[in-house]
A and B are shown apart, each in its own frame.
Chain A
């Protein structure tokens, strides 16, 4: 009898599973019809993988802009993912269909695209977060022209250069643009002429390194060695040993991110001795080093920017930071994850106002080609989009410093109106950045010799010498 009861239970569970599947099918088959003047959007970010920390930051940035410009209100100012109440733009009601939970891989982002952009039929995507996700998204966008994508904070070059679908826009620089000026600064300030570069072996690593190489070589520097550790390497000793010894080069550029940055520097110290700050530079990954053991030894090192201007004292920067503080007081306004998603959502609101709430091609045409953003100074304080809908934006190389007894970063220079092509180094007909592209070539860049010194957060009229 007892055995029979167990069988019954199993039977019930089995039938339950089948019933859920049938109910789900029936419900999905009778999807709700399209409602006029409602714009459905989805925020694409990561909740797993190396960039999972960006989840609340990304959503917070986007939600703050929707609150500031579209009349929405946060449900919980401490937790952006709690969502928003209300919000309209161009007469259309803004409706969130959900947040994508990416893990910085193309396969997962495509799953999330099917869930949110296809099944839930979102009209607009704000995101994604990371480089390879953006490449996959751009490929998808090319086949789905009725959907609109405004990239969140992904730094790969391809989405707006080699792929460049008409329905995809990016209001921030790519990974190469973020590094504009850093090569010229170490060339002039530290006297570097020959340098080696070590870069993560994937699209963002290549793109970020491409900006450093193009900038450093353009002013006359030489890259004598390129080393490519695979992503997620834990022991960097073999790769560090491929680098020339410290007496053979003037310096090293580091483009090793995530959990790899600290062990890579430690491996270097084990191989070549204590770090000398004047011999090391790198990209935004070194911002995140400020909490670890090697950071104090890198004080005064110059590093690449992230498109934001922490500590910049302008009226626009103050207004943006005040807006963030108003809606999400605990979020760091100067964080690029927050800032870039804020600008993407702001652009969406402006676009909807111009398109009168219409989506698809109408929205894509109406999305602003210039946008007032917090840390823009040139072009009247506007970010400008180029013909491939990629931002031409100001950049801020940084310097590791001591803030309140702890390592931190401060702005080292102001590089005005950096475009994606680096004076023709990159173009749609040329390969995407890779291990050996771009080559090291001396040439004139638009911002060469025009990098302005920033002192105490104020842009001076002096140029970096």
Chain B
């Protein structure tokens, strides 16, 4: 049996503690915190994890993940919502079976990821970033401009028709929290598993030395495309959860602001470790929530939008203190106790510079 080092053991203990807390959270925090902070943390964390997976294991920083989440939300919204008594007036409102709609939404998102990945997989560094940003912008403009799919107004009623095994997420928010928790745990385990498969190992090889891997006979674009497809699947799951959580979806859900927010979450958490996705999401949501509440909107010299500046300054502070985000702080904290020992270099994704 492999002996665990102290750091790994500590991390696992913390992980178990966080999981126990997450399971008991409905008994500990009030409804607002459970629904608005924790559920949102879990679902945005899955979206951010899809971004961090590409960055940490594939060396690709993608700005298409929010767009892919939106594709899932729009696909689900158009298929599952229905006109008539419920009053939805936007989108196709096909009124299809919720289970079929759920499966198709994730399949469509994964297929979109495959398509995007096929186009972007030969690009590296800043070019990859720009291409994926373009995908995100295209997705945003497409759903806004194709008015039959909803146009600029939101498609509503997505949370009123859910599969039987999901249950009523509209009135039972605790149920939605646990569904998001299960999805987050499964996503985390799946990413860890994929990273350890031969595919994951070769992907990390491609991240570090794409030319050498290519000369060894690995098909670099194919690996990158498949990684992008897997990340799109995760984004699809996050998108479906976000649509249930909000109950509606509009182009602004996948706009540039939302894209930047997901990137900020990933950077705050740290682009080097998957755990950073949920840590970053929690920190971002709490900071945003607390700053908007603690700055009084009455009597300020500038109008209520000033909270963006404060959130930005806090983000800057975190990044300056620890370029690897909150997970980087953890690494440093651990190193602090062993100052006299030679420091282990922090893991880096080495995405842009070494590849281009």
Contact = CB atoms under 8 A, between A and B. Distances in A.
Interface of A: 4, 7, 10-11, 13-14, 17, 20-21, 24-25, 28-29, 31, 47-48, 52, 55, 75-76, 79, 81-83, 96, 98-101, 105-108, 110, 114-115, 118-120, 131-132, 135-136, 139-140, 142-143, 156, 158, 162-164, 201-203, 230-231, 428, 431-432, 434-435
25 contacts: A7-B336, A10-B329, A14-B322, A14-B329, A25-B29, A25-B286, A28-B33, A47-B303, A96-B298, A98-B296, A99-B297, A105-B251, A105-B255, A106-B153, A108-B252, A114-B32, A115-B293, A119-B293, A132-B154, A135-B90, A140-B247, A158-B153, A162-B88, A230-B145, A434-B147
A345 B250 CA distance: 29
B252 A14 contact: no
Contact of A139 (B152, B248, B322): B248
Interface of B: 28-30, 32-33, 36, 87-90, 141, 144-145, 147, 151-154, 156-157, 159, 170, 246-248, 250-253, 255, 257-258, 282-283, 286, 289-290, 292-293, 296-300, 303-305, 307, 314, 317-318, 321-322, 326, 329, 332-333, 336, 339
B89 A432 contact: yes
Most buried by A among B33, B89, B297, B314: B89
Given A14-B321, A139-B157, A431-B89, A107 B250 contact: yes
Contact of B89 (A21, A47, A158): A158
Contacts of B297: 81, 98-99, 101
Contacts of B314: 17
A203 B336 contact: no
Contacts of A120: 293
Most buried by B among A82, A101, A131, A162: A101
B146 to A, nearest CB: 10
B125 to A, nearest CB: 29
A110 B322 contact: no
A140 B160 CA distance: 12
A202 B318 CA distance: 39
A201 B246 contact: no
Contact of B304 (A24, A75, A99, A105): A99
A81 B298 contact: yes
Contact of A99 (B29, B32, B298, B317): B298
A431 B151 CA distance: 14
Instruction: Tell me whether chain A's interface is mostly helix, strand or loop, or mixed.
Output: helix
Contacts of B90: 135, 158, 432
Given A29-B28, A81-B303, 16 more contacts: A10-B329, A14-B322, A14-B326, A24-B289, A76-B299, A81-B297, A99-B304, A101-B297, A101-B304, A108-B252, A110-B248, A135-B89, A135-B154, A139-B157, A156-B153, A202-B144
A163 B89 contact: yes
A101 B303 contact: yes
Most buried by B among A25, A81, A139: A139
Contacts of B28: 29
Given A156-B153, A202-B153, A48 B305 contact: yes
A118 B326 CA distance: 29
A107 B252 contact: yes
Contacts of B298: 75, 81-83, 96, 98-99
B154 A139 contact: yes
A96 B298 CA distance: 10
A21 B151 contact: no
Given A20-B290, A203-B153, A107 B36 contact: no
A82 B253 CA distance: 31
A28 B30 contact: yes
A279 B84 CA distance: 41
Given A28-B33, A98-B296, A115-B292, A143 B144 contact: no
B290 A136 contact: no
Contacts of A55: 303-304
Contacts of B300: 81
Contacts of B321: 10, 13-14
What 9 pairs across the A-B complex have the smallest Cβ distances? A105-B252, A101-B304, A139-B156, A83-B298, A107-B252, A202-B152, A162-B89, A106-B250, A47-B303
A163 B29 contact: no
A201 B248 CA distance: 20
B253 A435 contact: no
Nearest to A140: B247
Contact of A31 (B30, B88, B246, B255): B30
B32 A110 contact: no
Given A4-B339, A98-B296, A164-B87, A203 B151 contact: yes
A115 B40 CA distance: 14
Contacts of A231: 144, 152
Nearest to A9: B321
Contacts of A142: 87, 156
A203 B152 CA distance: 7
Contacts of B252: 105-108
A8 B183 CA distance: 37
Contacts of A164: 87
A106 B248 contact: yes
A83 B253 CA distance: 31
A299 B289 CA distance: 49
Nearest to B157: A139
